[in-house]
Amino acid sequence: MKATWILPDGREIGLEVKPGLSLMEAAVAGNVPGIIGECGGTMSCATCHVYVADGWQEAAGAPSDFEEAMLDATDAPRLACSRLSCQLEMGPQIDGIVLRVPAV
């Protein structure tokens, strides 16, 4: 399965992502700049913040209440399409997803 990260400078990084892996884990393994994943996916750092690209927001689903609260603590501005990528698990529904990495 595949996911693509668009960096603030417009560069695109496309990676193969195994089903069940979070998009934070995939980004860290693939050295996507700007995705840190400091807390290891326990929703306590917000350093995995991404913007879900247009056309993918419905498939990505809505954040949980706790994720919502953490999204208010991100460095980059929070947008309606903001998600913590440690909470996005690769699967058939989001195969091919495109994420934008916020500029900080």
Q: Which residues bind ligand FES (CB under 6 A)?
A: 24, 37-39, 41, 43-48, 84, 86
Q: How far is the CB of 53 from ligand FES (least distance, A)?
A: 19
Q: How far is the CB of 91 from ligand FES (least distance, A)?
A: 18
Q: Which is nearer to ligand FES, 38 or 95 (CB)?
A: 38
Checking 57-66 for CB contacts under 8 A at 24+ apart, the result is: 57/81, 59/93, 59/94, 59/97, 60/88, 60/94, 60/97, 63/87
Distance from chain centroid for Cα 104:
15
Q: Which is nearer to ligand FES, 46 or 98 (CB)?
A: 46
